Amino acid sequence: MGQFSFEHCFEIDTLKRLIAQHQHLFRHQSLADLYYRGEKLSVTAIELGQQQSLCPTVLFVGGVHGVERFLAL
């Protein structure tokens, strides 16, 4: 089995494509860059809706699940 790479990971590619195609609908920023085995992984925040502190808020947190099995090899 070849070495796993995040470079063409479906979830990361999809997120990048959604940001590029719909960036006028939300605010986004890179919060941090992490490095694992020489590969850069960005922690990205995407915000929708009002920025007023009195508005109701919901938080969605996501990650690339299933990658753990590749990293354990």
Q: What is the pLDDT of residues 28-64, one digit of tens each?
A: 999 999 888 788 888 888 888 777 778 777 777 766 6
Q: How many residues does the chain have?
A: 73
pLDDT tens for 8-35 read 677 788 888 988 999 898 899 999 998 8
Element (H, E) at 44: strand 39-47
pTM greater than 0.75 (yes/no): no
Give the residue among 2, 73, 5 at the shortest CA–CA distance from 36. Answer: 5
What whole-number distance in Å separates Cα of residue 38 and Cα of residue 40? 7
